[in-house]
Amino acid sequence: MSMIERLREYAEHETPTGAADALNAFADRLVRRYGELGGTARRVPAPTGDHVVADFPGRGPRADDAPLLFLAHHDTVWPIGQLERMPWREEDGVIHGPGVFDMKGGLVVLETALEQVADDDRRPVRAIVTADEEVGSPSARELVTAESAGVVAAFGLEPPHPNGDLKTSRRGSTRVRIEVAGREAHAALDASSGVSAIDELVDQLIAVRTLVSQYENVLCNVGTIMGGGRTNVVAGKAAAELGLRFVDPETERAVLDAVAGLRPVRPRAELDVRVISSRPAWQPSAPVDELLAKVAEAGRSVGQDVGGAAASGAADTNLTGWLGVPTLDGLGPLGKGAHAVHEQVIAATLPERAALVAAIIRSI
């Protein structure tokens, strides 16, 4: 099966975050595939969808060396049925479809690279494919931490920068939920006895914006808002989920402490602030620079120029980088439109990225 055929097969198996049955069926597919490639793979149970861990033995004099770790995920942001609205298609060397860029293309790249190095002397390889990366990997954090112990380096198969550069650091990313309980009342006949949870939530979001503005390089996005029910009823409940991103752990701690310290503006309003998921900031380091130099050398061996730069988005590589494991991300194919209806990959970069990953496995 060609890379494009396999990518189509993967994209047409829809796997939204939290759809446990769909994710588990895909995990079974990965376990079988990794077995075909000579690995020992297993599903790691999680309530919202199982993760996959696979180990591929080393060969020759490097068979007992510390393994290389590859990180990926099989969940996507797209709901079941998205294929009807953005069907798979290949036009002028560009592949379109839900999940092709983020990040089923990266899964196909790794599989192809493993095929290419099957008979080569090399280190062992370990792969972790998580099922809830798109919501911060809340059920996979302990797994990634445990399975990254003792590895020599970690590589993410997320999309690269637009020019193909790898990602050498990432902002920390934390999801926070703010819930407000007010008091329902008739909005005209008894408004004074009510407490609007919506009004309280609006004021709390303004307060968050104000405190975030006191720090440089902090991003804040209000991703969802919900609450109320009828225009003639004072809203009794409201909630919002925020995405916060940080360059360094000191700023992260200061902002999160301030958000946790929010207090109700209105008498009788109740406020609950909690962290839903958190990925620590992965900062630039000398070990990452050294790893990038080795990867650039591996790239030259297959006729590719490899560069690197910091990234704003978060991924599972945040955790390995934060833990001090030399880490690089962005080894997936080139394309654009992550989380957007124009999601796409450039078909020719699938084999190019596979050749680069294979060179990394052979040489690092």
Characterise 178 by phi-psi region: left (phi > 0), alpha (psi -120 to 50), beta (else): beta
Q: Which of 86, 81, 80 is nearest to 337 (CA)?
A: 86
Q: Which of 14, 50, 75, 179 is catalytic?
A: 75
Out of 50, 102, 111, 133, which one is annotated catalytic?
A: 133
Q: Are strands 40-44 and 153-156 parallel, antiparallel or unpaired?
A: unpaired
Vertex 135 angle, CA 133 and 136, to 5°: 65
Residue 75 bears catalytic tag: yes
Residue partners of 188: CB distance under 8 A and separation at least 6? 232
Instruction: Count Cα atoms within 13 angstroms, Cβ side, for 85.
Output: 11
Strand 94-96 versus strand 308-311 pairing type: unpaired
CA distance 305 to 351: 15
Strands 166-170 and 153-156: unpaired
* DSSP character at residue 101: I
| Residue 133 known to be catalytic | yes
315 Cβ neighbours under 8 A, 6+ residues apart: 71, 133, 156, 158, 170, 279, 329
CA angle 31, 34, 36 (to 5 degrees): 110
Is the separation of the CB atoms in 127 and 157 below 8 Å? no
**Angle made by CA atoms 33, 39, 43, in degrees to the nearest 5:** 70
Longest C-alpha distance within the chain, in Å? 83
Which pair of structure tokens corresponds to residue 252?
A: 């992260």
Sign of CA dihedral 307, 311, 313, 316: positive
Q: Tell me the two tokens of residue 112.
A: 């192809």
Q: Which two tokens stand for residue 7?
A: 């990518």
Q: Which residues are identified as catalytic?
A: 75, 133
